[in-house]
Chain A
Amino acid sequence: MPKPTIAMSVKEDTMSFTPSRRALLSGAAAGMLGLAACQPSAPLGSGSGGEGVGEHPSLAYLPSTQPANWSAVIGAVNEKMKADIGTTLDAQFLNWSQYAQQVLLKFTAAETFDSALNARWMNMVQLVSSNSLADLTDEIGKHENLSKALAPELIEANKWSGRLWGIPQVNGAARIHHFGYRDDLAAGELTDFDSFLKYLSDVKQKNPDITPFELHNNVGLNQAITFSPLTWEDPQPVSQAFSGGSIGVAINPDDPTDIRPVYESEHIIEGIRVLRDLYEKGLVNKDALTLDSATANSQFAAGRFAAHGVITDGLGSQSLKTLQAAVPGASLANLLPYRDGLAAKPFQTFQSDNFAVINPAGDVDRALQIQDWLSIQENHDMLAYGIEGTDWTASGEDKYEALSDYVFPGFALLWRIDLERMPSTISASEEEIFAWSKKFENFTLDPLATFYPDVTPVKKEDAELTNVATEHLKPLCSGAVDVDAGLDALRRAAEAAGIEKVMEEMRTQISAHLAEQG
């Protein structure tokens, strides 16, 4: 038998090497294992025992787009951070429209990064139930500056069943949705809900090129609640849901176990009717379901809308500089049309809308060291407002004047109530509302203030209800469908998706929580 040859010839006399199929497959499998062995192994675990702090930048995922002048600012921040604590920050910005799902996938796929923004209205409930977040309950106290910057009440209000799963990102006590509007388009002072609706009609008549009110694809219950006249007459407790985007329940403040689907709440139904009316009259944009929030905000800043929804974070006037560049003489104002004004004392849970959460597959210690470093005023200001003298300059004790277009999403990483400065462009009305929102005593404690439902027992039903909300509730809240027909379709779909089971589970968990509270 001829000797095996490795000649690359097809001549018959060289066709003598006849390995078996099994040998061939074994060889291929060995090759595959070899290739696998060449793959760099991803570091898992906290990393604190392996790589020392500072060997790699701390990767953080943040929403929105990269700020202007970012490379100069992060360069300065990292230079000081490296000198102070021996590490650096690598902030990656993800577009808002895909942020929630991208971050969810990064966590559930055990990608190695240190921190990200998350929230109950995104997927924090799912992340907690899948053990995808680092438990920070016993960690905050180990970091002096961080624990000093976070009030004990704030920590307590944001614990879920006694555990803290993220650093609450707040710059005030309460979060109240209300209206922000172009003051230069108003004939006079807006004082109540009716005058605001009249303002929208007047804008449409006098400025046909401007859409009176802006809605975007995050439209949902907040819009229905904000546009409900009943809300301003009689503020109700915040509704409860197992996860953000799902269909929740309305709570009876006198008996929190008395719950019903949100689509049966009179407050919400009235709000939906108002939105439908505005839609039919052309007072809101008709592309809300396809318009992403970043585009909507840029269109507002370009003067294409007269009003939009804002929240009590003191940032409603942040777009004024851009707006005035597009529309010289433009001015902004805020309206919180409670019947009793700032004495209304609406319900509040004092739970943070947003959390800086830490990935257990990343370097937990390093992420907390950075949080601690950012809790020092000088460091905080450098990342929050940019390089002093170039991007901003102090204006009084608690304000800053922006000198460049640098805007950092501080609510995603470094908001500390006592360290925040207000923009010097803040309108008088917004400053008044913001100051009011900072005081706990201006609000009534929600009966379910420390309650966080666990979605695990109804995970599939809740996911199905999220689909139902996308298909039926969002169009209703954008005003795009007939209210009665839309509510009927929503009710049928929610029942088919298991709303009864979800409500029963919610009732059980609320009862257990109330019993625990005594």
Chain B
Amino acid sequence: MSSSPTAPATTAAPPTARARRRPAARWSLGLILLAVPGILYFLVMNYAPMAGLVVAFKEFDVSQGIFGSPWNGLRNFEYFIATGSAPRILWNTVFLNTLFLASTLVVGIVLAIMLNEIRLSIYKRTMQSAIFFPYFVSPVVISVILQVLLAGVGGQSGAVNDMLSVFSLPQVSWYSEPGPWPVILTIVKVWQLGGYQSVIFLAAITSISEETYEAAAIDGATRAQMAWHITVPMLRPTIAILVILGVGRIFYGDFGTIYAIVGDNGLLFPTTDVIDTYVFRALRTLGDFGTTAAVGLFQSVVGLLFVLGALQLQRRFAKDTSVL
């Protein structure tokens, strides 16, 4: 006959006053001191500047300052919403960001899986550095590279057109044709961010248990089947986080890249003009901080709604991988 293990005496003892206070112990002075720099950072850099959002509802005048300028209701929002270009600009912003997000995620996953399959360490590290490098290339440099590739000196040739000529294909005036630019910009973003995303996924892949792969190998799975049936499903939480982060910024145009490449070339606006480039041009014309603050607020609020929407969808349809 075996006796069942007895519970430790302490668990049966009535809770002491110290134990009752345990939840309050989260407010440790040490922890608070550790948190203070971070709290200060966010208060000063993120929350305090939010007071400036009142500019969105004011007729801002430098001489009167942010809080002294007169209120003007929602008039600053009218400039953007009432413009005939608003539907096109909103569409371009969402469409381009969706393309960028989807393509960089897919390419990042594929690159990570490919990198994970490389067994020779030095080769793996070299490849990792090589594909990560474009992340550090300035959009201005990318713009110059694109001009050399697509336009050449005087805008009449370029390496791509030279190649088309070799195959007797008609040349394209790339900087006059808006149609191909969503694809061109997506290629640029994939080149820029594919390597960066792959590092994130690679880090997630390394946390997948080797035993899972060994079990699959015993069952006769090929490397491709392991990638598809083990690696990709195990990356879903990481993908979910990146999607949430991306969706939160889906109403923010990629100003740095797009403006550096397209600039004020109005011929390309039909497919490349996004909220941020439009607002930048408005700001430099109007010099009106109220209008730009209004559009910035609009972008933030819509971004928040998108994040909340994406979270709800995740909770409803992918509960097991929902991040929040």
The dominant DSSP class at the B interface is helix
CB interface residues, B 20-53, toward A, < 8 Å? 22, 24-25, 27-33, 36, 39-40, 43-44, 48
Q: Is A100 an interface residue (CB 8 A)?
A: yes
CB pair A107 B287 closer than 8 Å: yes
Instruction: Name B47's closest neighbour in chain A (CB-CB).
Output: A32
Q: Report Cα–Cα, A18/B20, bound state, in Å.
A: 14
Q: Report Cα–Cα, A496/B87, bound state, in Å.
A: 13
Whether A245 touches B30, Cβ cut-off 8 Å, given contacts A130-B62, A471-B269, is no
Give every chain A residue within 8 A of B114 (Cβ-Cβ).
none
CB pair A290 B79 closer than 8 Å: no
Give every chain B residue within 8 A of A123 (Cβ-Cβ).
284-285, 287
Nearest Cβ on chain B to A241's Cβ, whole angstroms: 12
Instruction: Name B35's closest neighbour in chain A (CB-CB).
Output: A24
CB pair B264 A130 closer than 8 Å: no
Give every chain A residue within 8 A of B78 (Cβ-Cβ).
460
Give every chain B residue within 8 A of A463 (Cβ-Cβ).
79, 282, 285-286, 288
Whether A472 touches B266, Cβ cut-off 8 Å, given contacts A290-B147, A290-B155, A493-B84, is yes
Q: Chain A 438-460 against B: per-residue CB contact (8 Å), 1 yes, 0 no?
A: 00000000000000000000011
Q: Report Cα–Cα, A110/B66, bound state, in Å.
A: 12
Q: Is B156 an interface residue (CB 8 A)?
A: yes
CB pair A475 B62 closer than 8 Å: no
Give every chain B residue within 8 A of A127 (Cβ-Cβ).
287
In-complex Cβ contact of A35 among B44, B62, B155 (8 A): B44
Q: Chain A 106-135 against B: per-residue CB contact (8 Å), 1 yes, 0 no?
A: 011110000000000001001100111000
CB pair A28 B36 closer than 8 Å: yes
CB interface residues, B 117-154, toward A, < 8 Å? 147, 151, 153-154
Q: Report Cα–Cα, A245/B266, bound state, in Å.
A: 13
Q: Is B213 an interface residue (CB 8 A)?
A: no
Instruction: Name B37's closest neighbour in chain A (CB-CB).
Output: A31
CB pair A108 B155 closer than 8 Å: no
Give every chain B residue within 8 A of A10 (Cβ-Cβ).
28, 30-31
CB pair A217 B287 closer than 8 Å: no
Give every chain B residue within 8 A of A291 (Cβ-Cβ).
155
CB pair B30 A9 closer than 8 Å: yes
Q: Is B173 an interface residue (CB 8 A)?
A: yes
Q: Is B306 an interface residue (CB 8 A)?
A: no
Q: Report Cα–Cα, A494/B186, bound state, in Å.
A: 31
Q: Is B165 an interface residue (CB 8 A)?
A: no
Q: Is A485 an interface residue (CB 8 A)?
A: no
CB interface residues, A 1-43, toward B, < 8 Å? 4-10, 12-15, 17-19, 24, 28-29, 31-32, 35
CB pair A243 B285 closer than 8 Å: yes
Give every chain B residue within 8 A of A19 (Cβ-Cβ).
27, 32
Give every chain A residue within 8 A of B175 (Cβ-Cβ).
286-287, 289-290
Task: Place the interface of chain B in its size category.
Answer: 35 or more
Q: Report Cα–Cα, A245/B264, bound state, in Å.
A: 12
Q: Is A101 an interface residue (CB 8 A)?
A: yes
Give every chain B residue within 8 A of A472 (Cβ-Cβ).
266
Whether A17 touches B287, Cβ cut-off 8 Å, given contacts A286-B155, A475-B266, is no
Instruction: Name A465's closest neighbour in chain B (CB-CB).
Output: B285
Nearest Cβ on chain A to B176's Cβ, whole angstroms: 5
Nearest Cβ on chain B to A473's Cβ, whole angstroms: 8
In-complex Cβ contact of A285 among B62, B155, B267 (8 A): B155
Give every chain A residue within 8 A of B281 (Cβ-Cβ).
466-467, 470
Q: Is B83 an interface residue (CB 8 A)?
A: yes
Q: Is B278 an interface residue (CB 8 A)?
A: yes
Give every chain B residue within 8 A of A28 (Cβ-Cβ).
36, 39-40, 43
Q: Is B263 an interface residue (CB 8 A)?
A: yes
CB pair B18 A31 closer than 8 Å: no
CB pair B79 A12 closer than 8 Å: no
Q: Is A366 an interface residue (CB 8 A)?
A: no
CB pair B282 A32 closer than 8 Å: no
Question: 6 smallest A-B Cβ distances: which pairs?
Answer: A287-B155, A101-B284, A286-B155, A471-B266, A15-B25, A496-B84
| 30 intermolecular pairs with C-beta atoms under 8 Å apart | A5-B29, A15-B25, A15-B28, A19-B27, A28-B36, A29-B43, A101-B283, A107-B287, A108-B62, A108-B287, A108-B289, A123-B284, A130-B287, A132-B287, A217-B263, A217-B264, A285-B154, A286-B154, A289-B265, A289-B266, A290-B155, A361-B62, A463-B288, A464-B79, A466-B281, A467-B83, A467-B281, A470-B266, A470-B269, A497-B83
On A, residues with C-beta under 8 Å from B are: 4-10, 12-15, 17-19, 24, 28-29, 31-32, 35, 100-101, 104-105, 107-110, 123, 126-127, 130-132, 211, 217, 243, 245-246, 282, 285-291, 299, 304, 361, 459-460, 462-464, 466-467, 470-472, 474-475, 480-481, 493, 496-497
